[in-house]
Structure formats: C-alpha cells, structure tokens
Structure 1
Amino acid sequence: MNTAKAKINLKDGQIELEGSEEFVSNQLEHFKEYIKAYQNNSDFEAEESVEVESHSSNPTSTPKGSKTVTETTNGEKKSKKKTSSGKAPSIESEKFDYLKDGKIEGLKDFFLSKCPGADSNTGNKIAAIGYYIQFVRKLPYFTEGNVEFAYRILDLKGRPKFMRQIIINNKNTRDLFEPVEGVSGAWKLTRAAEIFVDEDLPTKSEK
C-alpha cells in the first residue's frame, strides 16, 4: 500500500507534498490558501500544522509520477514541475432543530454553557455542536453542513474555511470524531469526545 503525504508548516509558510502527481496537483493550491489565510490573520481558525495521508492499494513501492514538492507562500518553488490549482470545497448549510422546545435546551444556551470557544479551539466548537445534535437532539450523526449552519446561527467568528480538514486533524490527533460509513460529509462523536464535552467543557479555568 502506498501513502501520499501532505505536510504544511503554517508558521514558516511551507508546504511539503509527497506522492502521486494527481495527489500533489489536487492539494498544492488548497494548502497555499490555508497558509496565506493563517499568516494574514484571517478570522478563520487554523491548526498550526496539517497532515493529510492518501492511501493507494497499488502494490508497487513508488506510485507512477511520484514526486515531492516544497513550496513557500511567496511563490518560491523547490521542485521543477508546476502543478495545477485546487480549491477548498464549498459547504452548504444544513438546517437542524436548534430552538428551545419544551424541555429540550436550545443550541445557543447549550453552546454558551459549554464555553467551547474561549480557547479559540475550532475542534472544541465542532465537538460541542456535534454533541448537541447527537445527544440533545438525538440524531444519529451530524454533517459538515450542520456545523456550517450552527456557526451562522451562533454568529461565531472564525468559521473554518477548510472544515473537513480540521475535523480530520482532530480525528487523528484528539480522537474526537469518526466518519459515518456510506454518508459523505457525515461524522459522529467518539466516546472520548462525548466524555470530553460532558466532563471537560467548560475548562477548569472557566468553571
């Protein structure tokens, strides 16, 4: 199994891509925009490092067209081959019930009670939104469109431009989310995330 990897350093403004030509081409501009937004103090929140892995079942040790590209946001390239551009996919808002309904707490009150945004951590915010949808509204999963909708309803600053990548990062590094098989863009909280929202939000300093 081959692995194509993409690594970016937001602090230094560098992108390192390794893998098939198709993988590199699809990811390069995607990550360049991500770094530029971070360095320009854009109001969306970014992790300081991002890693992406793409697995292939091709049994050969090196994929056809495999290469490594390192590029900085000022346009300086350390590879000889130019790649095509790619953009972050747009996410359409997907509405869910969020208003107080009898004994069911409204999204705004729940979100404020958890204070997930006080440390500017996008993963905490998404976990709190996902928890509300799954465990307050009793839905089987939440979607990226649901999170987009919640950010708008809650009037949160820093709506993530690369939401799927941030969810994947928090899946890999914090075990907060797991994808729903067979449903594109759908996620569930892990048991660890459920405990985190139940017991660790708000953080001790905020309790």
Structure 2
Amino acid sequence: MSESTRVKINLKEGLIELEGSEKFVGQYLDEFKILLSSAHIKSTDSDMNIDSKNTSEHQPTENKKKSPAKKTASSKKIAPKVPAERFDVHGNDTTISLQAFMDEKKPGTKNGNLIVVIGYYITEILGNKGFTLGQIEYAYKMLNLKRPGHLRQIMINEKNERDLFEMDAEDKNLWNLTRSGEIFVSDQLPVSGS
C-alpha cells in the first residue's frame, strides 16, 4: 500500500485541492506557490488553510481535483493612453489645412485610410521625417473623429494587412509611409465615383 498526500488551499473560496502521491502533490504545490507569489496575492493565516495528511490507503497517483477560481476582474484590456503631440493642422497661405486636405482626399471612415492620409499630410505636406502615434491622436481630436481604442494595435494591423505605413527602422516611436501609402493618397484618393 502506498501513502497518499492531500492538500487543500482556500484563498477566500478560490479553493484548490490536490490529492495523490507526495511527489505529485509536492510538484503541483510548488507550482502553485510560484504562481501565487508572482501574482502578489497577500493573505493572512486565516485565509490560507493547508491540510496535509498521509494515509495508508491506496490512491491513484494522478488523482487531482481543482475547483475554478472566482473571477473578480474583467478580462478586457484598457488601451494605453497616447499623449497627443501637437503639429500645425491649421495651415497658412502656402500650406493647406489638415481639415481641407481630408475633405479633398475623402478617405472615408476606415482607420487605416484616415491614418495614412494624416501621415501623408505630416510627412509630405508639412515635410516631417515621419509621424508618431501622438500626432495621429492629436489629428483625431482636432478633426473630431472617433478615436479607436487600441490605436497602436490598429496601426500594426493596418501595416501588416495593407502595407501603407511602417515603423521607422531606427526610431521605433516614428512611423513612415511606404511607397504604396504615398501612391494610395496621392493617386487613388478620392475614390472615383464618391
């Protein structure tokens, strides 16, 4: 007959029970200790109930019981806040305003189209080396457009799908138009018939 070890942990009713050989229980107990310490769960002695006992009855080696932990927080991630970076959106006697340029190009409501037109304005009209997330954020605010929640991820997705802009090789905070992005804005917008 082999001995069996049983562990019961109660983190405010998030209960975890393990039963099996001492080696098996010890292995998973060590893993849970690591997970608990990495999650910075603080508990008092009354919150944690560990019951370890050896029995002489035969138990299957890998008999493990685990109850689901209670979910306390939503799994939605909040987008990081992008600070707006000002640039000249108003234009002057020799430079068209961003609003007038958007009206001329009619990019529609798709975020990729809006971003590439704003990027074109910043790089080609204003003559900047590239554009940043903060400048895109500022343009959305100045144009009274609904800003997407995860702007950086949308830009990465658009870069991968349509190759209109890309991250600068040297400065990861800077974005550049690709040749196809330049052609899209200069030659293909506005779309014929709209």
Q: CA deviation at 1:190?
A: 0.3
* Residue 173 of structure 1: aligned partner: 161
Please state which structure has a larger fraction of its residues in strand: 1
Segments of 4+ in structure 1 off by > 2 A?
A: 80-87, 181-185
Q: CA deviation at 1:87?
A: 2.9
1:101 paired with 2:92, answer yes
Greater CA radius of gyration, 1 or 2?
2
TM-score by length of 2: 0.59
* Residue 105 of structure 2: aligned partner: 114
**RMSD after superposition:** 2.0
Aligned residues: 124
1:139 paired with 2:136, answer no
Structure 1 unaligned segments of length 5 or more: list them: 1-79
- Give a deviation string over 1:31-88, Cα, whole Å, max 9, x none: xxxxxxxxxxxxxxxxxxxxxxxxxxxxxxxxxxxxxxxxxxxxxxxxx898996432
- Give the partner amino acid of 2:176: K
Structure 2 unaligned segments of length 5 or more: list them: 1-67
* Residue 123 of structure 1: aligned partner: 112
1:183 paired with 2:194, answer no
C-alpha distance in 1 between matches for 2:159 and 2:82: 19
TM-score by length of 1: 0.56
- Give a deviation string over 1:94-114, Cα, whole Å, max 9, x none: 000111222111111011101
- Give the partner amino acid of 2:171: V
C-alpha distance in 1 between matches for 2:95 and 2:142: 17
1:203 paired with 2:191, answer yes
